[in-house]
A = this chain, B = another copy of it.
Amino acid sequence: MLNETAVKLGKTRSTIREIFEYGNKRAAEVGRENIFDFSIGNPNVPAPDAVQDIIRELVNTEDPAKLHGYTSAQGAPENRKAIADDLNKRFGTNYNENQLYLTVGAAASLTISLNALTSSKDDEFIVFAPYFPEYLVFIEQGAGAKAVVIPPREQDFQIDFDTFIDKINENTKGVIINSPSNPSGVVYTNETIKKLAEILKDKSNEYNHPIYLLSDEPYREIVYDVEVPFVAKEYDRTIVCYSYSKSLSLAGERIGYILVPNVDKFDEIYAAVCGAGRMLGFVNAPSLFQKVIAKCTGMTSDLSVYAENRKLLLEGFEKMGYSCVKPDGAFYMFPKSLEPDDRAFCERAKKYDLLLVPGSDFGAKGHVRISYCVKTETIKRALPLFEKLAEEYRK
């Protein structure tokens, strides 16, 4: 008699959450410092000091009735303008505030966009493995459409274009990409993005309807020694889904945006975004943090800890014989498990209190996700344990 889909979703904790709870249990037994929890993508680097300073300033100087009051549903115009200006400055684009719709974070950006686009239960959205698992929930249970998964291209986690082209059909409404990627840390190359754009243009023409690219970009600012192509410049039917969760370490505050492309039928698409936000119960993005992000454009948290952690892990793993596609962004890496069964491998890692997430959860078995947004000390102390784990497989 209840919504059984919702009941099931509410009861099946994600594997990540299971591991997190297991970690808490073990921490109570052997001490938090002896648990090496690489399961959760909660930034451990604090928000920049400027965030705290701006919160203080806003609280000290603004009229509280206004500061904490409703904004327009799409976000206060001046906050949207600050974001558009920043994008234009950084990417040489020409956006205006009326193309932005502020959201309660990336998950909301995605559910709103997916609901805005979905007009039939036959609509299909393509995702590339390894993928963020909630995409399937947002597409299927959230928007009532179909998720089509393209298997991983194991050698580099770029796109397997042959399979991708095969899977596009008249029902294809959109494609979700996530570069830098959760879980692999891989950044799509310029070549990948250009080829993707070309195919989407061709296929939109072939099927005589637009195929939208949903670019989920919470890790856009977190990269190491590479440039992340600004996807929306390459393909003009790109809907950017952004969040400040990772770049400003504000994951709990739920603040992000949707950038609607200025293409034909712009008014309709933007209206659909507003309408979807309204029917899902999003009234406006949190007002205080709207102002905070508007005043923190262009900033990021100190990313040097992630860079250091990444270097230590990659160097260590190479010596130990772990094989890993080079993660150029985010704070994840996705090495191969040392046995084909990634779940068995993760169980074995638990012996050393190394908590890893099986790749199967991201549609790529034979791998594990390591979330390295932890203290560098944790990495240093974990490396000998990874070596012990590898040692078991050398026998």
**Residues on A facing B (Cβ under 8 Å):** 1-11, 40, 42-47, 51-52, 55-56, 59-60, 63-65, 67-71, 104-105, 107-112, 115-119, 134, 137-138, 141-142, 173, 209-210, 249-254, 265, 268-276, 278-289
Q: Are A70 and B251 in contact (CB under 8 A)?
A: yes
The answer to whether A68 and B275 have CB atoms under 8 Å apart is: no
A65 to B272: give the CA distance in the assembly, Å. Answer: 35
Minimum CB–CB distance from A245 to chain B (whole Å) comes to 8
Q: Give the shortest distance, in Å, between A294 (CB) and chain B (any CB).
A: 14
Contact A44 B59, beta carbon cutoff 8 Å: no
Q: Whole-angstrom distance from the CB of A195 to the nearest CB of chain B?
A: 25
Q: Contact check, A253 vs B108: say whether CB atoms are below 8 A apart.
A: no
Q: Which 3 A-B pairs have the closest CB atoms?
A: A252-B287, A111-B281, A10-B275
16 A-B residue pairings within 8 Å (CB atoms) = A1-B209, A3-B118, A6-B116, A6-B273, A7-B272, A7-B275, A9-B278, A11-B271, A47-B64, A51-B64, A56-B56, A68-B251, A104-B254, A104-B286, A111-B279, A138-B281
Taking a contact as CB atoms closer than 8 A, the residue among B10, B44, B68, B104 that contacts A272 in the complex is B10
Query: Interface centre among A47, A111, A112, A252, by most B CB within 10 Å?
Result: A252
Contacts of A288 in B (CB 8 A): 252-253, 288
Supply 4 further A-B pairs (C-beta < 8 A) apart from A111-B280, A286-B289: A1-B119, A3-B116, A10-B270, A46-B68
Decide: A2 near B269, CB < 8 A? Known: A69-B251, A281-B107, A281-B110.
yes
Residue of B nearest to A281 (CB): B111
Residues of B within 8 Å of A45, CB to CB, are 65
Q: How far is the CB of A289 from chain B (nearest CB, A)?
A: 7
Chain B residues contacting A254 (CB-CB under 8 Å) are 104, 283-286
Decide if A275 touches B69 in the complex (CB within 8 Å): no
Minimum CB–CB distance from A295 to chain B (whole Å) comes to 15
* Shortest Cβ distance from residue A371 to the other chain B in the assembled complex, whole angstroms: 12
A222: min CB distance to chain B, Å: 15
Q: How far is the CB of A70 from chain B (nearest CB, A)?
A: 5
> Once bound together, how far apart are the Cα atoms of A44 and B65, in whole Å?
6
Q: A45-B65, A252-B69 are in contact. Are A281 and B112 (CB under 8 A)?
A: yes
